Structure 1
């Protein structure tokens, strides 16, 4: 094996999928691209890593809610573009021709063009590591959407796209919660 620089170790575990997180600051909607996500157990609790460097973080901290929207591979250039500009001076819904949809629980909008959306409440912020812990309070999937492959950031400007699905549900049945 060849040794890898520790500064690149994160590229071995960069999770996925890349998500879009919407917020509402009381005046306007915003979107940020996040590739650092984590599922916590089989409950609808998730975590993202973000901080003051993202314009949306102040709204996330203040209003304690957001929407996690899951884009697909056909949206890659929009996903990257959203991450390359700031909501301080850009209406990202308008610039990237995305449709905000009012959810049922939180004020932040869903994104119509995404495969899935989860309305979330902030249940904890771990300041030391910039981890925002979220609980999903509503979830939606666009079953009519033809493109369903999601994106996974490697962390160096490249992405991996989901491929074929391999089913091992029977083998893992004892560990999968009922209804999953």
Structure 2
């Protein structure tokens, strides 16, 4: 499934996503207690939108959008080869009142060989923002960053 609403929770590998019973994949999340966060780049935007506008109830999304599933090391959910990064996650909490699923990253993979590295962010109205230039202020923030950096 495509998820627009995600949140990094702190400096640990904890994330939150919002979804609920209206989403076909929600039942699988509750049952398996695991998932993969796959991070696409701008060149995959049309596939991302396509994945998000059809249902896994009647569509094999890997086949329809020509995506390659890869086996993870810690979860049964597939990674997506075409994505820039994949994070294997375990579900550690579901806050039903707010439809928030809390995930803990257990492994992460980054494809340095990909030429395209710009990611996209959904605004929520059918438009997207593309990442731009990276600005480094690590030295200025050194006292606030966890040991070992990010």
Q: Quick check: TM above 0.5?
A: yes
SS of the residue corresponding to residue 34 of structure 1 reads coil
Q: Any idea what SS the aligned residue of 1:174 has?
A: helix
1:118 pairs with 2:87 = yes
Matches of 1:174 and 1:56, distance apart in 2: 41
* Alignment partner, residue 98 of structure 1: 67
Q: In structure 1, what is the Cα distance between the partners aligned to 2:118 and 2:6? A: 17
- Structure 1 unaligned regions, length at least 5: 1-31
What secondary structure, in the 3-state scheme, does the structure 1 residue paired with 2:12 have?
Answer: coil
1:154 has 2:136 as partner = no
Q: Tell me the alpha carbon deviations over residues 25-55 of structure 1, each in whole angstroms, 9 at most, x when there is no partner.
A: xxxxxxx000100111100000000011111
TM-score scaled to structure 1, two decimals? 0.82
C-alpha separation between the residues in 1 aligned to 2:110 and 2:147? 20
Deviation at 1:178, TM superposition (A): 2.2
Structure-to-structure mapping, 1:31-180, within 5 angstroms: 32-179=1-148, 180=150
C-alpha distance in structure 1 between counterparts of 2:70 and 2:147, whole Å: 31
* Structure 2 length-normalised TM: 0.98
Query: Displaced runs of 4+ in structure 1, greater than 2 A?
Result: none
* Distance in 2 (alpha carbons) for counterparts of 1:147 and 1:51: 32
Cα deviation 1:91-146 (Å, max 9, x = unaligned): 00000000000000100000000000011000000001100000011110001111
Runs of at least 5 residues in structure 2 that lack an aligned partner in the other structure: none
